[in-house]
Amino acid sequence: MKITCRNVEKLYALDGRTIRALAGVSCEMRSGELVVVMGRSGSGKTTLLNAVGGLDRPTAGSVLVDGEDLYASGDRALSRYRNERIGFVFQSFHLSHDETALENVLVPFLFARRPPPDAAERGRSALARVDLGDQVDQPAGTLSAGQKQRVAIARAIVNEPEFVLADEPTGNLDESTGADIVALLVGLARQGLGVVIVTHDPAISQVADRVLRIADGRIVDGADGAGAP
């Protein structure tokens, strides 16, 4: 799978002003590749991630998925894209603390067109892949921060997506635990998934196949010539 951004712009209205979050971004991201998107707070990193993840429609330009315009399709197709082809990992985990690790991992199946009959088995397998096979029935609220992020990654991969998009996945973790989470994401890329990590931590860039540096809504380094027609 290949995701291509071509001259993507995103404008927001804020307090009577127009904010340009993305200003003509062109780049590519491919399966089997770990891409790190770096930049200061407010540079447009998360907006770019949301655009390629089908969460935020660009104001101008296009996001192509294997050559097809992602946002030319309807809302139902976008929902399928987010549910079936993309896994999301967030800084704040977004877990239900009263539910078990397994119940949290199974959430994507609640929105699937055809939930698989072996959903629970898939959930246990996903937890095993992130080294939490022995925490299946543990309430998420009782887990450590690192374990919570592992549950979030298991939830992201339980549907066997083609890409995992991680927004500051180590932001709430200590250095050692964060390194473990990054190593886990590197492992997913080596297994053939596309992995995109948005971060301001320069240490994470050392494990990337490619680094996109963004400033003031523009790619300033690493665009890989994706803007060509």
d(CA 132, CA 137): 10
Is 35 inside any structural domain?
yes
Is 50 inside any structural domain?
yes
Q: What predicted TM-score, i.e. pTM, was given to this entire model?
A: 0.93
CB 38 within 8 A of CB 200: yes
Longest dimension (CA), the chain: 52
Is 9 inside any structural domain?
yes
CATH label of the domain that carries residue 217: 3.40.50.300
Is 228 inside any structural domain?
no
Which residue type sits at 222? Answer: G
Burial of residue 13 (CB within 10 Å: 0-12, 13-18, 19+) is exposed
Q: Please give the residue range of the domain that contains residue 126.
A: 2-221
Q: What is the mean pLDDT of each run of 10 residues along the chain (229 residues)?
A: 98 92 97 96 95 97 97 92 96 96 96 89 97 97 97 97 97 95 97 96 92 96 57
Is 117 inside any structural domain?
yes
Number of domains the chain is built from:
1
User: Which contiguous run of DSSP H or E holds residue 75?
Assistant: helix 75-80
Model pLDDT, residue 223: 64
Is 226 inside any structural domain?
no
d(CA 194, CA 162): 6
Beta bridge partner(s), residue 8 = 25
Model pLDDT, residue 87: 97
Is 85 inside any structural domain?
yes
Is 106 inside any structural domain?
yes
SS3 content of the chain, % helix, strand, coil (to 5): 35, 30, 35
